[in-house]
Structure formats: C-alpha cells, structure tokens
Amino acid sequence: MSLFDSLVGQVAGALNANGGQAGGLMGVVTQLLTDPQHGGLQGLIQTFEQQGLGQVVASWVGTGQNLPISAEQLSAVLGSEKLQGLAQQVGLDPQALSGQLAQWLPQAVDHLTPQGQLPEAGALQPDALQGALGGLLGKFLGQG
C-alpha cells in the first residue's frame, strides 16, 4: 500500500484543476473504481471476467500492452441502467460516455496497477483516487 500512496502523492502533486467534462469523467471513473456496493476495482474486474472479457481487463492490470475495449463491450459490462445513471451525472448521452470510458478506463486501471498488482481492497479512497487520476485524465483530454 505504501507504493500506492507514493504514486498517489506523485500524481496528485502534478494535478491541475480540471473542470467541466474532465471533472465529470473523473467522478464517473472514481465511482466505478471505488463503489463498495460493487466491490470497487476488484469487483469491476470480476464483472469484466464474468462478461467474458477477463483477458482484456487482465491486460490492463498486467505490465504488458493494454488490449482495447469497444464502447459496446463496455456498455454490456456496465449494463444500460448503470451507464444511463452515470451519463446523467455528467450530462452526456450513454453512448458518448461509454466511448470515452472505453478509451480512458484501460489507462486508469493500468495507472493504478503499475507493477501488475491490484491495490488492497478498500485502499482506493475516492478523494485520493481523484488526485491520482487527475493528471492522467488531463493528458487524455488534451490528446482528444
């Protein structure tokens, strides 16, 4: 957990204030990765595995190249009801949100598992996670 804390500190130090779409997308990703009702990051990975996408999500956690996921695959994993609720939170339609998440979620999971190891259950706290992912999200939105 100290490696994770170190990573959070390093990235949070480089965090620029992101507003609008960046803040909304970061909130959605934070919710997906920390939601205790669904098991946080571990639960999200388990859901991918149950939907037949275990190899894809394992590539994000592992140290090799990340396999891509389509917006349609991500929509199937999250379910239309959950995706609709998340989309309403950020003011996007569900298709647009799933497209953005399909591009960004692999990078976020990869970033949070730098040595191919999942953080301990409960180690990802929403405030710390938003700090850790802020710089990464800024880079992502700057590329698009």
Domain membership flag for residue 5: no
pLDDT of residue 101: 92
CB count within 10 Å of CB 109 equals: 22
Domain membership flag for residue 93: yes
Cβ proximity of 1 and 119 under 8 Å: yes
Q: By CB neighbour count within 10 A (0-12 exposed, 13-18 middle, 19+ buried), where does 91 fall?
A: exposed
Decide if pLDDT at 5 tops 70.
no
Decide if pLDDT at 138 tops 50.
yes
Q: What is the mean pLDDT of the chain?
A: 77
Domain membership flag for residue 11: no
Q: Which two tokens stand for residue 48?
A: 């991918």
Domain membership flag for residue 10: no
Q: pLDDT band at residue 125, thresholds of 50, 70 and 90?
A: low
Helices 94-112/71-78 angle, 10° precision: 90
Q: Which two tokens stand for residue 12?
A: 């949070």
The stretch 96-118 carries a mean pLDDT of: 88
Instruction: Quote the number of domains for the chain.
Output: 1
Decide if pLDDT at 72 tops 80.
yes
Domain membership flag for residue 9: no
- Return the higher-pLDDT residue of 16 and 113: 113
Question: Range of 115's domain?
Answer: 21-138
- Return the higher-pLDDT residue of 45 and 6: 45
Q: Which of 94, 90, 136, 93 lies closest to 113, judged by CA?
A: 136
27-44 pLDDT per residue, tens: 888 888 878 777 888 889
pTM value is 0.72
- Report the CATH number that the domain containing residue 104 is assigned in CATH: 1.10.10.690
9-27 pLDDT per residue, tens: 333 333 333 344 556 777 8
Q: Which of 78, 98, 97 lies closest to 33, judged by CA?
A: 78
Domain membership flag for residue 14: no
Domain membership flag for residue 35: yes
Residue partners of 40: CB distance under 8 A and separation at least 6: 33, 34, 121, 122, 124
Q: pLDDT band at residue 123, thresholds of 50, 70 and 90?
A: low
Decide if pLDDT at 84 tops 70.
yes
